Structure 1
Amino acid sequence: MSLNIYFCGSIRGGRQDVAVYQKLVKALQTYGKVLTEHVSDRVISEKVIVAEVTQPSLGVGYELGRAVAMNKRILCLFRPSSGRVLSAMIRGAETAGSMFKVQDYTEEEAEKIIEEYFSTLDQERTL
C-alpha cells in the first residue's frame, strides 16, 4: 500500500513534542509518502490525515476541520500521559462508522497503533 499521508502537529503552539512527531513520521513513512505542512489546501490529494493532537494547536484544529470537510480519513493521536485533556470537540468527532478516529497512545505503542490503523485501511481497500 502506498498512500499520501498528511501529518500535522503543533508548530507555533509549542514544539515540546518534536521528537514524538519525528518518531510518528518515521513510522508513517512505512505506509506511504508523508507530505509536509506546507502543502496548500487546493492541492491536497491524500487519503489519510494523521494528527498528533496532544499539544493544543489552533492550526491543527483548522487542518482537521478542512480534512473533515474534504471527507478525508483522519487518525488523531493523543497521549494522556501529558496531563492534558483532549478538546471535547476532537474527542467527540469520532462516531460509529465515521472516518474520524481518535486513539490514545503511549510513545512505546505508537508504531503498533499506526500499523493496526493502516492494516485496517488495507483490509477495507481489498473488500
Structure 2
Amino acid sequence: MKVYFAGSIRGGRQDAELYRKVIAALKEKHQVLTEHVGDLSLSTVEDKGDKAIYEQDTTWLRECDIVVAECTQVSLGVGYELAYAEARGKEVHIFYRPKETQLSAMLAGNERFHIHRYADEAEILAQVKNIG
C-alpha cells in the first residue's frame, strides 16, 4: 500500500523526530511516498520552489492509497492535504495529542476521517502499525 504521510513543515518542525519514527513504523508494511517529512535536516524553507512542491505533493496524493497525518502541530499545508485527499476519496487517518492541541472541528467533525488520539510516542507507534 502507498502511504502519504503528512506532518508540519513550514508550520514548525517540533515533531520532526516523531515523524521520522512514525514513517519508519509505516515502512515496515507499506511504501511511504513522503519520507522527507521525517528528515531531521529538512528546513521550514525548501529549495525546490512552491510550485514544484505543490505539483509533487498533489501527484503523490493522487497516487497514494491512504493518508496518515500527524496534526498536533498546526499546519495550513496539512489541512489542505487532508481536504485534497478527502475530495479524492482517500482513506485518511489523523493522529494528535489532545493534551497539547485541540483538533479543528473541520477535521474532528468529519465522519470520513479516522481520528486517533494518543498520549506518547509508544502509543502512536502501536496505533500506526495497525493501519492497513
Query: Which amino acid letter does the alignment assign opposite residue 17 of structure 1?
Result: D
- Provide the identity percentage: 41
| Runs (4+) off by over 4 Å | none
Which residue is equivalent to 1:76? Answer: 94
Question: 1:59-80, CA deviations, whole angstroms, 9 ceiling, x for partnerless residues?
Answer: 0000000000010000000012
Query: Which amino acid letter does the alignment assign opposite residue 75 of structure 2?
Result: S
Please state how far the C-alpha of 1:18 moved relative to its aligned partner. 0.5
Residue 22 of structure 1, aligned match among 20, 23, 26 = 20
SS state at 2:32 partner: strand
Which residue is equivalent to 1:103? Answer: 116
Residue 6 of structure 2, aligned match among 8, 13, 21 = 8
Query: Which amino acid letter does the alignment assign opposite residue 89 of structure 2?
Result: N
State the TM-score, normalizing by the size of structure 1: 0.80
Aligned positions, number: 111
Unaligned 5+ residue runs, structure 1?
Answer: 119-127
State the TM-score, normalizing by the size of structure 2: 0.77
Which residue is equivalent to 1:32? Answer: 30
Distance of aligned partners of 1:80 and 1:33 in 2 relative to their CA distance in 1, 3 Å threshold:
same
Question: 1:70-116, CA deviations, whole angstroms, 9 ceiling, x for partnerless residues?
Answer: 1000000001232x2111111111x2xx3x20100121111211122
> What CA distance in whole angstroms lies between the structure 2 residues aligned with 1:113 and 1:42?
27
Unaligned 5+ residue runs, structure 2?
Answer: 38-52
Residue 73 of structure 2, aligned match among 42, 49, 55 = 55
